[in-house]
């Protein structure tokens, strides 16, 4: 859901036009990466020493000078040295990769937590989940597998190339012409593949979304017996993911054979050209076989790079996606005011456009500290958005929201949120204990908690639970009834000891008797609190200081119940629609 | 399920409970392949093709050096350049065959891996669809997503990249081992001894390595669950200044994942150095014992040099197996987590009924008792009948059991004791199709799927799925539903997303209402279904309900009195009891003066 500021920019912004620099990511881990490089090179050098020692031993034996004992000791020492260095290298790359992954996740979450509600809605939680899991994993894979291999490969390729050129520069040069061919092949494939990897991750996003919706809608799907519908959706997304990965496969399946073939062509070149040189006497047979030997040393790192290019392409695509989140513009909070609110609030000429729709049009509401205001109106009138504006979760397209005569923007966010209790319309409970759910804000004392629970009429219920306040609520709050969840949310807002209480249709699922009781409790336990209540039930707010009729985003009328009954036909219509119950109200008053 | 069985099955569906993790399978390749085999059944031909391609490319790879050695001896040394060119042409042909074969092998085996990943994901999703609501109450969305995405991918990596490598390496190693042993049995045994040691160490370590990988995947699933919960509840986190909560919860999950991954990484990385060590020790042994054998006159120096080459041929593929083995342990751990879901069975199966239908009531509760897993009884011995065409209201304090009663009517759960009868038949003998056709249930929390309003209204509705927008609008007009659509700016084509807050709760309830009414249910259950809809619109909904066929039975759960004012009969649900309230006045009296359960 784009908010006003987010709407000005296009939804998908290429963070960096070129591929982001994966190596830059490694900069803070320089010592560890350097250690990794040293361990890799030493390990590889030791590996190269083994054949040398064996060859020397055999030479010595043929000359009859072999003393077996020191050779065995030396060789065993080298073997254990290789074991040690290889393990240390693995240790270093595990640590480096996991650290990068951990820090990257921390950075991402840090960034996300500095963004507003609109950002999360716009990017969608499904995408952020893919970012934090499989995108970070791809980068991690790059470091754990590719970095050391690349270092070793480059080391070997350079070494072998130098040796080739030093033996016979003409043949050496012609053999090395395959390297640019390989380089170009890589480049072409990787460029195409990076796009595909982006698409693949997007397909995973979609897959996540379908799974998530099918989990949230588990009850609905079972009631409608629409398992098949969900399956078709899932197979669609899963099939798309498969098809993209098959396209990637087709490119990569070609890459490695093409590289091997190029190297084989180099072998042919040595055979024909080198053969000719040997025949016409410009090259010795020993050098000829050495050429072949060094070429085989060249092959392995080249193939290794081929394998790693897959990992690199995937990591590159993932890091690009991560960069989009990491480089998203921030809106630093500007407010500094930390005053304790009296509780006056004013909404002045507010317009709000969301997704091209005018949700609120020139809305103005004013209320003094300690007063009670109700907003009433049909579904989709913009009531909820009005409350979002008043907490700063949304920002008005034009107009201002003020507390105590001061623009909401001037207040320090945390301080403001600590004084405004917002009871959301849809139930949001965390997989925590009831105590943690209610005392969700950090500032809540035990006394605050007690008072909030009593006010929300939750005391009896909590007393009836075996673990009382330590009862853990399940993720989607399924262990609580609808009304209980709403009261938990009310208690959560009240526990702040707020100066202003924003209620979004909070009693929709609470029976009238409880609702009345709760409103009385709030009045008694929280004297002087300013209340703004969005509601459907006129009866509960009849005695409020002010009732605002909001329709289609516009304020049609406002005033006391009596005044509105005389002046607002829309209000009278709403009132009449609830009149069928009026004779029961008499009964209730007894 | 009888009450006495209940404790044993308390957390049957909780994957994170110790019982849920008890998927102790033998860590053998055979067992793993057996579990995966059904998914590969259709791929036999592809696997065979890939194997053939692998064989061809291996042979081509082996032929190259042999030919070159020959050319050097026979042609280069003799100055026969024409011969060199002839052989070069043959070699080029072999390289081309190798090119095609390697391409085919990678492609075909990759295809098998992807196809299997696709099938496995679909199989888990199908299983998720089979499992009852209870399962979703006991597990976290993020962890389930992680199982479907990350864990299946680990299997894919193993199948696409490692399995063929495993096969081809094994092929090479067997050949080399035979060669070594025929060349000189004694020296061969000495050369292969370190490999035996490696196999023993591998067997000993495998269970531990798999366990470490399992822990790592579990913590990844846990982190995924944490992220999912926090991001979907971000509004509350912002409004209550608890970004620190988000960060702290995440940090804890993050560092746990870090520790578990490092542990798993260290375990996984143990194989490679050990296999390398075995290789080098084999060389030491061959050198030492070979020199001794030569000294005893049983061996020659030329043979020893050749022997070293064959030892290389055996140990280099073995060293590569270390990497494969790690991928294999990860795949096994992932398979455990996937199997934990796949082995669950729904406890809401259709059971054939032996009794003749009891005519009379549309729906009947016969001594129904119900408790959620591990909880107290929510309903106790409830008995009542609902007759065709009547309207019933269920009132009572929150937490009294109203939603549970409605859920039992639609068999979202089975009673712990007693029976629910639909049209005189035990509801457990009705197929899901029958149930969903007869019962229209509008849930308390409406859910919209990503798509358009049209998609959502026609969700699961096969009858009207192919209607054009015009036909649909005409259909709406017939049923008075058309006026509800005016609440949406772009009508049927208004886009919606499940997670977005652009559509209000009231609007969602309107769509859920239209969705259900359009299916012409015989039994319509409204569980607080209009709670967030304004009273003027609600009157419209009432008119629509009134115009439903006279035979439609309606069950209404609501707090707003006007919603239930027209009921034929009112039931008072409180503290596990469902009692007829007689009149509206009586019901009100009970509500006001009766002891509340909550």
The 10 Å CB-count burial string (b at 16+, else e) for A274-298 is: bbbbbbeeebeeeebeebbebbeeb
Whether A123 and A205 have beta carbons less than 8 Å apart is answered as no
Task: Report the residue of chain B nearest A231, measured CA to CA.
Answer: B126
Q: Do B122 and A235 make contact, defined as CB atoms within 8 angstroms?
A: yes
State the average pLDDT over residues B106-128.
84
DSSP conformational letter for B303: H
Question: Would you state the structure tokens that stand for residue A25, as one six-digit string?
Answer: 């990511």
Determine which helix (DSSP H) or strand (DSSP E) holds B69, and give its type and residue range: helix B44-71
**DSSP one-letter string for A420-435:** EEEE-SS----SSBHH
pLDDT above 90: residue B93: yes
- Is the Cβ pair B497, A124 closer than 8 Å? yes
Inter-chain residue contact B535 with A460, CB threshold 8 Å: no
- Which H or E run contains A255? helix A227-269
**What mean pLDDT do residues B200-211 have?**
88
Predicted local confidence at residue B11, as pLDDT: 65
DSSP state at residue A196: H
Using DSSP's 3-state secondary structure scheme, residue A399 falls into strand
The CA distance from B471 to the nearest CA of chain A, in Å, is: 22
Q: Are strands A546-551 and A554-559 parallel, antiparallel or unpaired?
A: antiparallel
With residue B170 as reference, give the H or E element that holds it: helix B163-183
- Phi, then psi, of A421 in degrees rounded to 5: -95, 125
Residue B118 contacts A where some CB pair is shorter than 8 Å = yes
Joined together, the tokens standing for residue A400 give: 């201002």
Residues of chain A with C-beta less than 8 angstroms from the C-beta of B531: 482, 505, 508-509
**CB-CB contact of B347 with B296 (8 Å):** no
pLDDT above 80 (res B358): no
A40 touches chain B (CB under 8 A): no
Q: How far is residue A384's CA from residue B43's CA, in Å, rounded to a whole number?
A: 54
pLDDT at B97 > cutoff 90: yes
Which residue in A76, A252, A378 is closest to B536 by CB distance?
A378
Tokens of B96: 């081309």
Residue to mutate among A133, A248, A333, A556, with most B CBs inside 10 A, is A133
- To the nearest whole Å, the CA of A224 is away from the closest chain B CA by 5
pLDDT at position B17: 57
List all residues 6 or more positions away from A293 whose beta carbon is below 8 Å from its beta carbon: none
Helix axes B81-130, B301-342, angle to 10 degrees: 20
Q: Tell whether A482 is within 8 A of chain B (Cβ).
A: yes
Other CB atoms within a 10 A radius of the CB of residue B99 amount to 19
Per-residue pLDDT band at B560 (split at 50, 70, 90): low
Among A101, A105, A219, beta carbon nearest to B412: A219
Q: How confident is the model at residue B92 (pLDDT cuts 50, 70, 90)?
A: very high
Q: Which of B68, B433, B500 sits opposite A121 (nearest CB)?
A: B500
Q: Tell me what the mean pLDDT of segment A164-189 comes to.
A: 82
Task: Tell whether A372 lies on the interface with B, counting CB pairs under 8 A.
Answer: no
Of the residues A44, A476, A508, A553, the best mutation for testing chain B's interface (the one with the most B CB atoms within 10 Å of its CB) is A508
Burial of A84 (0-12, 13-18, 19+ CB in 10 A): middle
pLDDT of A308: 80
What are the tens digits of pLDDT across the range B379-395?
Answer: 888 888 888 888 888 88
CB–CB contact B150 A213 (8 Å):
no
Is A16 a residue whose pLDDT tops 50? no
Q: What is the average per-residue pLDDT within B149-160? A: 78
- Section B541-564 average pLDDT: 81
Distance (Å, rounded) from C-alpha A273 to C-alpha A276?
Answer: 5
Half-sphere exposure of A25 (CA within 13 A, CB side): 29
pLDDT at A478: 56
Question: Which B residues in the span 156-185 are in contact with A, Cβ-Cβ below 8 Å?
Answer: 160
Name the CA radius of gyration of chain B, rounded.
35
Task: Tell me the chain B residues in contact with residue A171 when contact means C-beta distances shorter than 8 Å.
Answer: none
* Nearest to A383, CA basis, from A556, A179, A234: A556
Q: Of A146, A251, A130, which Cα lies nearest the Cα of A196?
A: A251
Residues 314-343 in A contacting B (C-alpha not used; CB under 8 Å): none
CB B479 within 8 A of CB B517: yes
B433 touches chain A (CB under 8 A): yes
Residue A494 scores a pLDDT above 80: yes
Full DSSP string of A523-567? HHHSTT-EEEEEES-SGGGTTSSEEEEEETTEEEEEE-HHHHHHH
pLDDT at A586 over 90: no
B594: pLDDT strictly greater than 70: no
**Residues 540 to 569 of B: which have CB under 8 A from any A CB?**
559-562, 565
Q: What is the mean pLDDT of residues A411-424?
A: 84
> Chain A residues with CB inside 8 Å of B144's CB?
211, 215
Dist CA A272 CA A254 (whole Å): 27
Total CB pairs under 8 A between chain A and B: 481
CB contact under 8 A, A441 and B395: no
* Contact predicate A482/B403, CB 8 Å: yes
Contact A75 B118 (CB under 8 A): no
Q: What is the mean pLDDT of chain B?
A: 80
Q: Which residue has the higher pLDDT, A452 or B559?
A: A452
What pLDDT, on the 0 to 100 scale, is given for residue A582?
45
For residues B584 and B572, give the distance between their C-alpha atoms in angstroms, rounded to a whole number.
Answer: 10
Q: What is the pTM of this model?
A: 0.77
State the average pLDDT for chain A: 80
- Retrieve residue B149's tokens: 């995405």
CA–CA separation, B263 and B266 (whole Å): 5
Digit-coded pLDDT (tens) for A208-262: 788 878 877 777 787 777 778 888 888 888 899 889 988 988 888 888 788 888 8
Q: How high is the pLDDT of residue B592?
A: 62
Other C-beta atoms within 10 Å of B300: how many?
Answer: 12
C-beta separation of B419 from B367 below 8 A: yes
* Residue B486 at interface with chain A, using a CB cutoff of 8 Å: no
Q: Which region among A123-137, B17-31, B48-62, B352-366 has the lowest average model confidence (pLDDT)?
A: B17-31
State mean pLDDT over B234-249: 78
Compute the distance between CA of residue A438 and CA of residue A436 in angstroms, rounded to an integer. Answer: 5
Using CA atoms, how far apart are residues B19 and B9, in angstroms rounded to an integer? 10
| A546-551/A372-376 β-pairing | parallel
DSSP 8-state symbol, B350: -
What's the pLDDT band for B32 if we cut at 50, 70, 90? low
Minimal Cα–Cα distance from B33 to chain A, Å?
Answer: 22
Query: Two tokens at B412?
Result: 């979202």
The answer to whether residue B249 neighbours chain A at the CB level (below 8 Å) is no
Q: How far off is chain B from A271, nearest CA to CA, in Å? A: 7
Chain A: closest CA distance from residue B534 (Å) = 5
The token duo for B41 is 């059944």
Q: Residue A57 and residue B287: Cβ atoms within 8 Å?
A: yes
Q: Do B241 and A464 touch (CB under 8 A)?
A: no
Does residue A258 contact residue A183 with C-beta atoms inside 8 Å?
no
Q: With an 8 Å Cβ cutoff, is B583 touching chain A? A: no
The values of phi and psi at residue A82, to 5°, are -60, -45
What pLDDT, on the 0 to 100 scale, is given for residue A1?
Answer: 37
Distances (CA, A) of A528 to A368, A499, A547: 10, 8, 18
Cβ burial, residue B13 (10 Å; 0-12/13-18/19+): buried
Q: A565, exposed or middle or buried, with CB in 10 Å at 0-12, 13-18, 19+? A: middle
Q: Which chain B residues are Cβ-neighbours of A536 within 8 angstroms? A: 532-535, 560
Q: Does the pLDDT at position B20 exceed 50?
A: no
Residue where the block lists tokens 């002046």:
A567
Closest CA to B264 of B162, B166, B334, B160: B334
What's the mean pLDDT in A366-391? Answer: 84
The band of B96, judged by pLDDT with boundaries at 50, 70 and 90, is very high
Contact list in A for residue B136 (CB cut-off 8 A) is 215, 218-219, 476
In this complex, do A133 and B399 lie within 8 Å of one another by their Cβ atoms?
Answer: no
Residue B461 has, within 13 A of its CA and on its CB side, a CA count of 22
Is the model's pLDDT at A569 over the cut of 90?
no
What's the confidence (pLDDT) of residue B31? 66
User: Is the Cβ of A67 closer than 8 Å to some Cβ of chain B?
Assistant: no
pLDDT in tens, B476-529: 888 878 888 877 777 888 888 755 566 777 888 888 888 888 888 889 998 887
What is the C-alpha separation between B574 and A227, in angstroms, rounded? 34
Specify which residues A555 forms β-bridges with: A550
Q: What is the model's pLDDT at position A6?
A: 38
User: Which range scores top for mean pLDDT: B93-102, B458-467, B565-574?
Assistant: B93-102
Confidence bin at B54 (pLDDT 50/70/90): confident
Give the Cα separation of B386 and B424 in Å (integer).
Answer: 11
Using the structure block, give the residue that is written with the tokens 């591929």.
A19
Per-residue pLDDT averaged across B11-29, rounded?
56
Of A207, A381, A257, A350, the closest CA to residue B121 belongs to A207
Please give, rounded to a whole number of angstroms, the shortest distance from the CA of B462 to a CA of chain A.
Answer: 10
Task: Say if residue B336's pLDDT is above 60.
Answer: yes
Q: Is B63 on the interface with A (CB under 8 A)?
A: no
pLDDT of residue B89: 92
Whether A187 contacts chain B with CB within 8 A: no
Question: Would the CB atoms of A128 and B79 count as touching at under 8 Å?
Answer: no
Least Cα distance to A362 among A393, A400, A391 occurs for A400
SS3 B368: strand
Task: Assign 3-class secondary structure to B426-489.
Answer: EHHHCCHHHHHHHEEEECCCCCCCCEEHHHHHCCCCCCCCCCCHHHHHHHHHHCCCHHHHCCCC
d(C-alpha B154, C-alpha B332), whole Å: 9
Q: What tokens appear for B315 in the block? A: 């140990």
Identify all chain B residues contacting A384, using CB atoms and an 8 Å cutoff.
501, 504-505
B360 touches chain A (CB under 8 A): no
């Amino acid at each position: 859901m784009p908010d006003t500021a987010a709407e000005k920019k296009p939804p998908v912004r290429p963070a960096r036009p070129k591929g982001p620099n994966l190596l830059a990511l490694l900069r803070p881990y320089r010592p560890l990466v350097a250690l990794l490089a040293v361990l890799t090179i030493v390990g590889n050098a030791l590996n190269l020493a083994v054949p040398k020692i064996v060859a020397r031993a055999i030479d010595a034996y043929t000359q009859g000078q072999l003393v077996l004992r020191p050779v065995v000791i030396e060789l065993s020492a080298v073997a254990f040295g290789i074991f040690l260095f290889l393990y240390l290298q693995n240790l270093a790359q595990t640590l480096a990769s996991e650290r990068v992954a951990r820090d990257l996740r921390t950075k991402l979450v840090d960034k996300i937590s500095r963004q507003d509600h609109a950002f999360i809605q716009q990017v969608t939680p499904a995408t952020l989940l893919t970012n934090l899991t499989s995108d970070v994993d791809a980068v991690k894979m790059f470091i754990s597998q590719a970095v050391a291999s690349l270092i070793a490969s480059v080391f070997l390729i350079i070494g072998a190339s130098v040796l080739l050129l030093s033996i016979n520069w003409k043949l050496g040069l012609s053999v090395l012409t395959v390297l640019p061919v390989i380089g170009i092949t890589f480049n072409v494939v990787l460029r195409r593949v990076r796009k595909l990897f982006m698409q693949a991750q997007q397909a995973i996003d979609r897959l996540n979304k379908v799974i998530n919706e099918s989990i949230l809608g588990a009850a609905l799907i079972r009631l409608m017996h629409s398992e098949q519908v969900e399956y078709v959706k899932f197979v669609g997304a899963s099939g798309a993911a498969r098809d993209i990965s098959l396209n990637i496969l087709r490119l990569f399946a070609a890459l490695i054979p093409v590289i091997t073939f190029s190297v084989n062509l180099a072998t042919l070149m040595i055979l024909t050209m080198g053969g000719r040189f040997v025949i016409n006497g410009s090259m010795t047979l020993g050098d000829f076989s050495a050429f072949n030997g060094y070429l085989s040393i060249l092959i392995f790192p080249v193939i290794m790079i081929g394998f790693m290019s897959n990992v690199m392409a995937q990591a590159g695509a993932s890091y690009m996606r991560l960069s989009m989140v990491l480089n998203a513009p921030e809106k630093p909070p500007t407010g500094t005011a930390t005053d304790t609110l009296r509780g006056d609030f004013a909404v002045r000429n507010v317009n709000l456009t969301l997704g091209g729709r005018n949700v609120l049009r020139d809305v103005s509401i004013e209320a003094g500290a300690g007063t009670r205001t109700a907003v009433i109106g049909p579904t989709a009138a913009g009531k909820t958005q009005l409350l979002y504006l008043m907490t700063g979760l949304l920002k008005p397209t034009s107009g201002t929201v003020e507390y105590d005569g001061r623009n909401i923007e001037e207040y320090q966010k945390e301080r403001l949120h600590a004084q405004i209790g917002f009871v959301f319309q849809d139930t949001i409970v965390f997989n925590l204990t009831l105590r943690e759910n209610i005392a969700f804000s950090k500032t809540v004392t035990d006394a605050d908690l007690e008072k909030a629970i009593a006010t929300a009429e939750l005391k009896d219920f909590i007393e009836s639970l075996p673990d009382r306040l330590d009862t853990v609520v399940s993720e989607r709050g399924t262990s609580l009834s609808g009304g209980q969840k709403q009261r938990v949310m009310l208690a959560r807002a009240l526990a702040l000891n707020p100066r202003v209480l924003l209620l979004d249709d909070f009693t929709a699922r609470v029976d009238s008797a409880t609702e009345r009781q709760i409103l009385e409790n709030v009045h008694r336990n929280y004297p002087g609190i300013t209340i703004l209540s969005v509601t459907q039930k006129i009866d509960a707010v009849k005695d409020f200081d002010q009732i605002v009729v909001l329709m289609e985003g516009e304020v049609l009328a406002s005033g006391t119940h009596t005044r509105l009954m005389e002046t607002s036909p829309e209000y009278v219509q709403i009132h009449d629609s609830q009149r069928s119950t009026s004779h029961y109200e008499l009964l209730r008053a007894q | 399920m009888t009450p006495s069985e209940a404790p044993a099955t308390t957390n049957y569906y909780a994957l994170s409970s110790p019982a849920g993790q008890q998927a102790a399978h033998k860590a053998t390749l055979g067992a793993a392949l057996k579990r995966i085999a059904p998914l590969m059944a259709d791929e036999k031909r592809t696997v065979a093709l890939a194997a053939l391609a692998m064989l061809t490319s291996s042979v081509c790879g082996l032929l190259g050096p042999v030919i070159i050695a020959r050319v050097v001896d026979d042609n280069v040394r003799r100055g026969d350049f024409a011969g060199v060119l002839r052989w070069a042409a043959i070699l080029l042909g072999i390289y081309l065959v190798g090119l095609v074969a390697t391409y085919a092998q990678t492609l075909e085996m990759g295809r098998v891996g992807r196809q299997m990943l696709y099938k496995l994901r679909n199989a888990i999703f199908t299983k998720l669809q089979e499992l009852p609501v209870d399962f979703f109450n006991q597990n976290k969305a993020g962890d389930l997503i992680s199982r479907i995405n990350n864990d299946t991918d680990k299997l894919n990596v193993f199948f696409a990249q490692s399995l063929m490598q495993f096969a081809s390496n094994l092929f090479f190693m067997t050949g080399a081992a035979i060669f070594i042993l025929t060349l000189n049995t004694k020296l061969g045994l000495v050369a292969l001894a370190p490999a035996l040691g490696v196999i023993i160490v591998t067997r000993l370590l495998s269970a531990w390595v798999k366990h470490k990988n399992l822990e790592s995947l579990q913590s990844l699933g846990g982190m995924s669950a944490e992220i999912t919960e926090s991001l979907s509840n971000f509004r509350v986190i912002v409004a209550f200044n608890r970004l620190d909560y988000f960060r702290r919860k995440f940090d804890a999950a993050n560092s746990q994942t870090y520790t578990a991954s490092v542990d798993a990484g260290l375990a996984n990385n143990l194989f490679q150095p050990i296999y390398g060590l075995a290789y080098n020790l084999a060389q030491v042994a061959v050198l030492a014992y070979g020199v001794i054998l030569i000294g005893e006159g049983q061996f020659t120096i030329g043979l020893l040099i050749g022997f070293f080459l064959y030892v290389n041929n055996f140990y280099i593929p073995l060293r590569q197996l270390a990497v494969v083995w790690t991928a294999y342990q990860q795949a096994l751990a992932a398979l455990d987590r996937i199997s934990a879901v796949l082995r669950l069975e729904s406890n809401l199966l259709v059971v054939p009924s032996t009794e003749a239908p009891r005519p009379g009531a549309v729906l009947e509760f016969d001594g129904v008792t119900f408790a959620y897993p591990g909880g107290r009884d929510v309903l106790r011995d409830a008995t009542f009948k609902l007759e065709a065409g009547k309207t019933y209201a269920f009132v009572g304090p929150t937490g009294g059991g109203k939603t549970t009663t409605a859920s039992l009517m639609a068999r979202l759960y089975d009673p712990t004791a007693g029976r629910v009868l639909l049209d005189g038949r035990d509801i457990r003998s009705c197929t899901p199709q029958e149930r969903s056709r007869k019962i229209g249930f509008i849930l308390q929390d409406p859910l919209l799927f990503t798509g358009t309003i049209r998609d959502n209204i026609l969700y699961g509705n096969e009858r009207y799925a192919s209607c054009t927008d015009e036909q649909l609008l005409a259909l709406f007009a017939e049923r008075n539903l058309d006026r509800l659509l005016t609440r949406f700016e772009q009508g049927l084509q208004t886009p919606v997303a499940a997670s977005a807050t652009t559509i209000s709760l009231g609007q969602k309830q309107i769509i859920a209402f239209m969705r259900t009414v359009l299916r012409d249910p015989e039994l319509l259950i409204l569980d607080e279904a209009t709670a967030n809809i304004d009273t003027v619109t609600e009157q419209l909904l009432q008119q629509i309900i009134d115009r439903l066929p006279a035979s439609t039975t309606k069950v209404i759960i609501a707090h707003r009195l006007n919603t239930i004012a027209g009921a034929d009969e009112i039931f008072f649900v409180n503290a596990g009891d469902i009692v007829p309230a007689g009149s509206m006045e009586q019901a009100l009296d009970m509500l006001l003066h009766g002891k509340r359960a909550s």
